[in-house]
Amino acid sequence: MRYSLITATLASGVFAARPFLNEPDTGIVDALGASFPVGSLPDIKNMNYTYYRNGAGGEWSYRNNLEVYNRYRFKPRMMVDITKVQDSLPTSILGHNFSAPFYISPCARADYAHPEAEINLVKGAAAAGILYIPSLYSHLPMETIAENAAENQTLFAQLYIPNNDTQTQTYFDRAEKAGYKALVWTIDSPGDASRQRAARFDVGSSNVELTRNTWEDLEKYRSMTKLPIILKGVQTAAVAKAAIEHKVPAIVLSNHGGRNLDGSPSALEVAIEMYQEDPTMFQKIEVYADGGVRYGSDALRLLALGVRAVGIGRPFMYANAFGQPGVEKVAQILKGELIGDSANLGVPDLKKIDAEVVNWTPNGWYS
């Protein structure tokens, strides 16, 4: 922080002119063009793409979610035997075993990419051995999604909990009956979001009422269901600490992919705040995180602080334009990157990655 005055002065001219790359130009579009027959690229119409891509307000939190990882450079360890790192990819999430420390975040409206909608996501997750958390606002009912699950597949159900307890009880009962193993209560959007990019196509937020989300409600909801309740959308160390005090089994650090409150922090910034306050918080509660995770190296920064699993939203939604194979491909690429990146970082066991492999002094224009 002591750099702030100097860098602010130096950066002021540069910053205004700095272009924002929506996605880094990796040349992937050309590569796809070469290896796919012409016409086989996904036909995601502007409205559909815009609904997925959209962020709130000026989309600064959306941008920050993507850019934050590169503010923290690695300190790669050399001369380490990393040849067994792939054995450390499998992990457990709330006691359920999965093949990798990442999962499909809950995203509404999978029909915007593919007519089979969430069926591709649930089957793709089964084939990849990863967790899928269907959104309450999925195109298909939660029962239909669960019916398409593999026999031994674990699903958690994302819920927005309304002010009406009768309706809430119905959601809880449906999720239990359909075989979901946990409820993921999204607490980061009690109000409406201003989604201006999406509003142009009338596919902005549909939050109709101000929603009461309190610790008293949590106690009440626990008496209404047998399922464990996870909190999604924790954005400060203080709320993480309160979750531990309230014996919440797991939290998701998330700003909803930058879709709700513009200016809300990225999951990595919240994880850093928690780590600085008390690194043992990550042992006292299972911590998951999402937002802007696009590469294995992004995920490694979160895992380094003690995050147990990372969620991926948009990449799976976009990939669903290719159906189930697209979903599986994202999982396969990310597994490969986690293995390769941790090897290059000198981390032989993903479960033992620690905060020392990252230089936590932010580089660039932001410190």
Ligand X SMILES: Cc1cc2nc3c(=O)[nH]c(=O)nc-3n(C[C@H](O)[C@H](O)[C@H](O)COP(=O)(O)O)c2cc1C
Q: Can you tell me the distance from the alpha carbon of 286 to that of 299, in angstroms, rounded to the nearest whole number?
A: 16
State yes or no: is 114 an active-site residue: no
Q: Residue 111 corresponds to which tokens in the numbers above?
A: 């029909």
DSSP state of 254: -
Given the structure tokens 């650090």, which residue do they identify? 253
Q: Residue 213 corresponds to which tokens in the numbers above?
A: 């989300």
DSSP state of 289: E
DSSP state of 260: S
Residue 327 binds ligand X, judged by CB under 6 A:
no
Residue 195 binds ligand X, judged by CB under 6 A:
no
Q: Which range touches ligand NAG (CB under 6 A), out of 79-87, 159-167, 227-235, 289-297?
A: 159-167
Candidate list 61, 64, 88, 186; residue touching ligand X; CB under 6 A:
186
Candidate list 2, 23, 45, 226; residue touching ligand NAG; CB under 6 A:
45
- Indicate the residue whose CB is closest to ligand X: 313
Given the structure tokens 């050399």, which residue do they identify? 78
- Closest by alpha carbon to 49, among 176, 198, 180? 198
Residue 22 binds ligand NAG, judged by CB under 6 A:
no
Residue 43 binds ligand NAG, judged by CB under 6 A:
yes
What part of residues 81-110 is at the interface with ligand X (CB under 6 A)?
Answer: 105-108
Residue 260 binds ligand X, judged by CB under 6 A:
no
Candidate list 44, 234, 272, 285; residue touching ligand NAG; CB under 6 A:
44
Given a contact cutoff of 8 angstroms between Cβ atoms, the answer to whether 323 and 44 are in contact is: no
Q: Residue 171 corresponds to which tokens in the numbers above?
A: 């959601």
Pick between residue 108 and residue 357 the one whose CB is nearest to ligand X: 108
**Residue 197 touches which member of ligand X, ligand NAG, none, C-beta under 5-8 Å by kind:** none
* CA 110 to chain CA mean position, Å: 16
Query: 96, 114, 246, 256: which one is catalytic?
Result: 256
Residue 76's CB is within 10 A of a number of other CB atoms, namely 13
DSSP state of 74: B
Given the structure tokens 């990849």, which residue do they identify? 128
Which residues have a catalytic role annotated?
A: 256
Per CB under 6 A, residues contacting ligand X are 51-52, 65, 105-108, 135, 137, 158, 186, 232, 254, 256-257, 259, 290-293, 311-314, 317
By CB under 6 A, name the binding residues for ligand NAG: 43-45, 48, 97, 111-113, 151-152, 164, 166-167
